[in-house]
Structure 1
Amino acid sequence: MNKADMDMIDFKSLEAELRDRLSRIDRWRRVVRALSVVVYLLVFAWLLFVLLGGMVLARLGWEDYDMLPRVIVPVFIGLVLLSFLLSYSLITFQNQECAAMRSVMQALFPQVSFSFSSEVDSGLLAGSRLFTASYGDPALGVDGYGEIELGYGNDRLHVADVGISYGWMNRWQAHPVLGYVVFAYRFVLRPVFAWRTESSAHNFRGMFGWCRTERRYEGDILVLPDHLEDKAGYLAGNIQALRQRFNTRLVKLEDPEFERRFVVYADSEVAARMVLTPAMMRRMSELRDAMGRDLMFSFSKGDFYYAASMPEGFLRLRPGRLQEGKMLEGLYKDIRLACRVADELRVNKLFADKA
């Protein structure tokens, strides 16, 4: 990122102008967080009572079942009221955050097209090969939380804030019994620990970008964070499936710094080496270090895709850094770098003067 461009923006003045607004959003965020923890814990307790309550009461020797309605009904009414308050608070928080984010984007990136209403086609995600590893997987579930668009016609670059669900939960949610387990996990347990309540049902929340390129690639080339092979969780269990699904093979390259950060799978080792030149690998390593996040890249036919996990949201405000005076500066850095990935890797140079 060009430091001169950042020096032209008075982040402190802009943040001072928005401070009251951002502080109000932060308060709503805390209200939503507190209510979500209370509501989802109560819902979880309610589910346990429905499933196991009769057995527990029988073991305790409870015989006065006439008292149950007098206990359950007030609890149920309280849960309904708290759920209404959570829904109202969440809607208010989201509306205020979206309005503030539009103002921020207009101030920081007046030259780009920005929308909260754009929807990312699940076919794009499947085409990237970054989020699916089997022909038998059901269609990816995706929710869009905003999108940036640069360029014109077929030469457009898109960078979106997405929430994606995939894998075993998608397969099991249609099961007549296991579907209840998936529902309880996604919509009762995960919201208690998630960064954002509305994205807690997803396996992946973060930045996803894509564009056409001036060249076509032979087969598929996947560049993934190296540590994903060693950890349970995202894609770790899918490495073997990737090989079987796409006939990909591990490609070892002669760049220690690159291989410390990434692992490469490709249909053709020759094609992978043609794309991942020493200069390309160096630029990928620099991008990963500049963003401070794990990055994933995919080259497929004439398309280039990339993604980074951001549980707090990509096109969302981060009021936690408001007191440090670094919130807008950090947001600017993330968005600018995300918009320049294709240009930095020289796969498309059409956007150098746009972001």
Structure 2
Amino acid sequence: MKVAIEETYNNSKEALNSIYKKRKRTLLFQKIVWGITGVYFIFIILSFIYPLIPSLKNGYIKQTIQHPYQNQLFIIGLIIIISISSIFFVRTFQIYVINEQKVMDKLIKSLFPNIEFSRGISDPIKEIEHSKLFTNIQSNPISYGQIRSTIGGYTINISDIGVQEKNVTNNVLKKLGNIPALNILVVLWQYSIKNTFTNSTIDTNQFTFRGMFSWFHFTKKLDGHTVLLTNNHQTQINRFFRTSFKEEQRILLEDPRFNKEFIVYGTNQIEARYVLSIALMERIITLKEKFNQPILLSFQNQQMYLAVQNKQGLFSFSKGKLDDICVIEKLSHTIQTALDIVSELKLKK
């Protein structure tokens, strides 16, 4: 694999450097578009606030009488600038995405010539819903490509997905968005501020989860389901306020190291312990360390589902410069680790 990595890197240096430059240009236009849009929203907000402040009211009215079209001209000017910059942004973004996909596709096929990789396979919506890893999915998940491989008669499916959930934060923002006067602040935050002060492209910012999603055959037959999530306050709050999976209960296992890494929910305490044997818990912790990213797992009806968070996406390039062999090594390591899950977790018996 080392030889393949070096050869792939040498053959793709120029293409990677070109992708980096295109991404910088795309992010620049993204910041310009949403920055100007933010100025527009702020101006609208101030135009409502000024007449309500006694110390500013008389001056505001006087200025409006002397220059009745000043505000309208300013707004029209902003709209024209936003429209022109949006055209440039959309064009550069399309060019960047198309070129990124072409380069990434070549890298994957060069590193793993024996696997099937496609961006045209239908989104694994049913599998994502059955996994119960994501609560209250807001819209249909999006797939950015899928790897399909057969190893020793065992089929492995690996997708790069984006999921938008109705979590606590999104629900609060939605309710605030229904309140007059506050709704414009919500729009300002969700679209302008988030997309201006970021180094991620706009298509990634919309998701609550972006990364790898896989599903495998699991030998143990189960009546309910068991879910392993990242152990943090945000996960606990979102799962507590869920409107689905009400039959779940919190499950505390005997392994303190495992409990530190994961929070476990399931429909049956006994079945969860049947699934999560001491040996499997050790292997799951080892797998998490290999990915070096937050991972989610669930077990249900002789199926195991795995999600690995990657904010930029599995089949997209990470932030920063790309003219380094580490970019190829990281991609190779992630995909190979995913392909080795069956043997790592000893799912095939």
How far apart, in 1, do the equivalents of 2:308 and 2:138 lie? 21
Spell out the pairing of 1:85-124 with structure 2 (5 A cutoff).
85-124=88-127
* Alignment match of 1:28 (pick from 22, 30, 44): 22
- The structure-2 alpha-carbon separation of the partners of 1:109 and 1:334, relative to structure 1 and needing over 3 Å to count, comes to same
Q: Give the counterpart letter for 1:346 in structure 2.
A: K
Aligned to 1:213: 218
The normalised TM-score by structure 2 is 0.85
Displacement, 1:48? 2.9
Alpha-carbon displacement from aligned partner over 1:292-312 (angstroms, at most 9, x marks no partner): 111110001122111121111
Which residue pairs with 1:146 in the alignment?
A: 145
> Which deviates further from its counterpart, 289-298 or 54-63?
54-63
Q: 1:340 to 1:171 in 2, by over 3 A?
A: farther
RMSD (Å) for aligned C-alpha atoms = 2.8
User: In the alignment, is the contact (CA less than 8 A) between 2:213 and 2:308 conserved in 1?
Assistant: yes
Alignment CA distance shift 1:166-1:41 (3 Å): same
CA contact (8 A) 1:194 1:200 kept: no
Matched residue count: 333
* Residue aligning to 2:32: 38
Whether contact under 8 Å (1:224, 1:262) holds in the other structure is yes
* Structure 1: gaps spanning 5 or more residues: 1-5, 350-355
> Greater shift after overlay, 91-100 or 15-24?
15-24
Aligned counterparts, 1:39-188, within 5 A: 39-56=33-50, 59=57, 60-61=59-60, 62-63=63-64, 64-132=67-135, 137=136, 139-151=138-150, 156-168=155-167, 169=170, 177=178, 184-188=188-192
Paired amino acid for 1:177? N
Find the partner of 2:202 among 180, 197, 215: 197
Q: Secondary structure at the match of 1:151?
A: strand
Q: Which residue of 1 aligns with 2:299?
A: 299
8 A Cα contact 2:40 2:75, kept in partner: no
Q: Which TM-score applies when normalising by structure 1?
A: 0.84
Judging changes above 3 Å, is the alpha-carbon distance between structure 1 residues 124 and 181 closer, same or farther for their aligned structure 2 residues? Answer: farther
Alpha-carbon distance between aligned partners in 2 of 1:319 and 1:16, rounded to the nearest angstrom: 20
Which whole-Å CA distance do the structure 2 matches of 1:149 and 1:34 have between them?
A: 36
| % identical aligned pairs | 20
**CA drift at 1:170:** 6.8
Please say which structure displays the higher CA radius of gyration.
Answer: 2
Partner amino acid for 2:335?
I
Q: 1:271 to 1:122 in 2, by over 3 A?
A: same
Which residue identity does 2:134 align to in structure 1? F
Cα shift at 1:138 = 6.1
1:267-301 deviation line (CA, Å, top 9, x unaligned) = 11221111111110111010111111111100011
Q: What is the alpha-carbon distance in structure 2 between the residues aligned to residue 183 and residue 122 of structure 1? A: 28
CA 1:122/1:65 → structure 2, altered by over 3 Å: closer, same or farther?
A: farther
Instruction: Give the Cα–Cα distance (whole angstroms) in 2 for the partners of residues 141 and 333 of structure 1.
Output: 29
Q: Which runs of 5+ in 2 are unaligned?
A: none
Show CA shifts across 1:198-252 (max 9, x none): 12111111111113333322311111222x2x3x3xx331332469834222322
Match status 1:325 vs 2:328: no
How far did residue 335 of structure 1 move?
Answer: 1.4
TM-fit CA distance, 1:319: 6.5
2: distance between equivalents of 1:259 and 1:282? 12
- Distance of aligned partners of 1:272 and 1:183 in 2 relative to their CA distance in 1, 3 Å threshold: same
Q: 1:16 to 1:138 in 2, by over 3 A?
A: closer
